Structure 1
Amino acid sequence: MKPISIPEPLSVIGEGPVWDETEGYLLWVDINGDRIHRLNPESGKVETIEAPKLASALVPCSNGGWLVSAYHSIYHWIPGKTSFDEVLRLENLPSDVRFNDGKAGPDGGLWIGTMDLHESKAQGALYRVSADFQYEEKLSGIYCSNGLDWSLTHDEMYYIDSHIPRVQAYAFDSKNGTLGQERTAVTLNEKSGLPDGMSIDHKGMIWVAEWGGSRVVRWNPADGSQLSAIEMPVPQPSSCAFGGANYETLFITSAYQGMSDSKRAEYPLSGALFHMETSDLGIRGRRPFRFG
């Protein structure tokens, strides 16, 4: 089964796909393009919204609207409006560090990571932001904080630092939002790309986009075995998320950042959004958790 492309708009770094079950839209960001895109799957129409600089993640809120991470700040945004209201700013972050991927967890907190802009220093971290916008550092020494998700039983969190070819798992307390014992859930081989965004399906298997590997791979986090792979027509798939009716559509973002003109001519769909139906495979995702 091959993914279908939505070739326009192309994103410099398409990231953070998330399904809006209220409106029936797929949202994602173009980090370096400072844009939020909203796809209506029924019409195929994409709406593009100007976003704060380096917008990197979108998270639905339980009381309405969305959280948007961008550079050193978290904003609250309501679709249809052009204003973004800053609700939190991490004043202590160095100028060469920015927010990257993030999601709401089963504990209701926002789990959001940072990364070194050049990915050369381990000065990133993973934070938990509470409903009253207090934050706590949970992991440090991170190069590029990226994909994360939680087990179906909410007792484990899966986490990616894209500098390292592994998916780590942490014991998770969904009542208190705390992390416990760490283990390696998946180890990528040397021929793979870098692990990037991630999503979990209804059988507890994780799907990981391989930046530079032209694949999205389904893994069993219990034993680290590879179950299947989607070959992509672009070298830099960046993230994936389930959406659509019954969460039976897998959406995949991609990027053309750093690609030469000749490389882009070779892979003209780089930066496009892709989708594929998973109902025939008997696979569906789950709705995203909401902040608060």
Structure 2
Amino acid sequence: MVEITCIHDAGAQLGEATIWDPDAAVLWWIDIWGQRIFRTNPASGRTDSWETPEYPGCIGLRKSGGLVLTMRSGFYFFDPETAEFTAVADPESHLPDTRFNDGKPDRQGRFWSGTMFEAPGKELEFIGSLYRMDTDLTVHRMIDGIGCSNGLAWSPDSTRMYFSDSHTPVVNVYDFDAATGEIENGRTFIEFTEPGDIADGTTVDAEGCYWVTIPFKGRVDRYDPDGIRMASITMPTDLPTCCEFGGPDLDVLYVTTAVLKRPMEELKGQTSPGGLFALDVGVKGLPLPAFEG
């Protein structure tokens, strides 16, 4: 049986973007709709937080210090010591109905983030894209025609990249060129068959298996490299959103969750919705390098 512990009962509106810092032994994560960056120390139980000026989308460590992140209006750097944000690039300044969402560094030190359509009251448009920011801070559009970017992860040997549009029941896999960051030969990796199943935040473990959060279904699933589901873990709250391995031995799976502005009566019977959870799943993960730029 999987041991599940809430280590910070944040009540996050939309917890996301888990990144483990092995040097500081802390987990970085965000609340998108709450406009906050969190830093949780599992050993001490302390969580620090910073307000963001816009909806954050995702974060990564930066080799020269601080964080790299995306917010609604593009790529930024963040210095936790001064709480200052520095704008880097805004590749969708011409698209007022999109914002940046899921992303993370690849194993070669580039930073990836994709956008999603978010315009309440308007009909869904598939106008989002996935972007790669290289270490020279140039930004490249890699995939377009997206409704909601999610599911980003890489195989341990960096020959495969996984990516999903959460407005579809599919996770795709691409051949990945580690030297250049180019992708090709996109194809279906997972096609969900249970009604309402979609992919949110994901990671890959040391055995090359793909872990994916299934929002609104309260599950975290594990798939082998052939796209066969190996395990399904039921969370104590219905909206898990992102996952990443951490801890000194990278043997803890950290999972963020979300309240999503729902009234408390809709959350009756759930344990710590919007909290940060630690799961003992019996396998180890892989470190995510910092952004080299």
User: Which residue number in structure 2 is paired with residue 24 of structure 1?
Assistant: 25
The 10-residue stretch of structure 1 (66-75 or 27-36) with the greater mean CA deviation from structure 2: 66-75
User: Which residue number in structure 2 is paired with residue 68 of structure 1?
Assistant: 69
How many residues are matched?
Answer: 288
User: Which residue number in structure 2 is paired with residue 131 of structure 1?
Assistant: 135
Q: Is the contact made by 1:194 and 1:213 (CA closer than 8 Å) also made in structure 2?
A: no
User: Which residue number in structure 1 is paired with residue 270 of structure 2?
Assistant: 267
> Identity, % of aligned pairs?
33
Q: CA deviation at 1:134?
A: 1.1
Counterpart residue identity of residue 180, structure 2: N
Q: CA deviation at 1:5?
A: 1.0
Q: CA deviation at 1:62?
A: 2.3
Q: Is the contact made by 1:194 and 1:212 (CA closer than 8 Å) also made in structure 2?
A: no
Structure 1 unaligned residues grouped into runs of 5+: none
Structure 2 unaligned residues grouped into runs of 5+: none
- Structure 2 residue 213 is matched with structure 1 residue 209: yes
- Structure 2 residue 239 is matched with structure 1 residue 236: yes
User: Which residue number in structure 1 is paired with residue 260 of structure 2?
Assistant: 257
Q: Is the contact made by 1:186 and 1:221 (CA closer than 8 Å) also made in structure 2?
A: no
Structure 1 moving runs of 4+ over 6 Å = none
Instruction: List aligned pairs for 1:13-92, cutoff 5 A.
Output: 13-90=14-91, 92=93
1:122 corresponds to which of 122, 126, 131 = 126
Name the SS of the counterpart of 1:196 in structure 2. Answer: coil
Name the SS of the counterpart of 1:58 in structure 2. Answer: strand
Distance 1:91 1:197 in 2: 22
Q: Is the contact made by 1:32 and 1:54 (CA closer than 8 Å) also made in structure 2?
A: yes
Distance 1:88 1:170 in 2: 25
Counterpart residue identity of residue 290, structure 2: R
Q: 1:65-112 CA deviation, whole Å, 9 max, x = no partner?
A: 210211012221123321111122235341110000111113332111
Q: CA deviation at 1:10?
A: 1.4
Q: Is the contact made by 1:109 and 1:128 (CA closer than 8 Å) also made in structure 2?
A: yes
Q: CA deviation at 1:24?
A: 0.6
Q: Aligned in 2, Cα 1:93/1:243: closer, same or farther, shift over 3 Å? A: farther
Name the SS of the counterpart of 1:194 in structure 2. Answer: coil
User: Which residue number in structure 1 is paired with residue 163 of structure 2?
Assistant: 159
- Structure 2 residue 187 is matched with structure 1 residue 183: yes
Could you tell me the TM-score, scaled by structure 1's length?
Answer: 0.94
Counterpart residue identity of residue 136, structure 2: D
The 10-residue stretch of structure 1 (96-105 or 113-122) with the greater mean CA deviation from structure 2: 113-122
Distance 1:93 1:234 in 2: 37
Counterpart residue identity of residue 106, structure 2: G
Q: Is the contact made by 1:192 and 1:210 (CA closer than 8 Å) also made in structure 2?
A: no
Q: 1:118-177 CA deviation, whole Å, 9 max, x = no partner?
A: 481101100111112111111000000012111111111011111111211000101111
Name the SS of the counterpart of 1:263 in structure 2. Answer: helix
Q: Is the contact made by 1:165 and 1:188 (CA closer than 8 Å) also made in structure 2?
A: yes
Distance 2:51 2:98 in 1: 22
Q: CA deviation at 1:268?
A: 4.9
Name the SS of the counterpart of 2:266 in structure 1. Answer: helix
Distance 2:196 2:280 in 1: 24
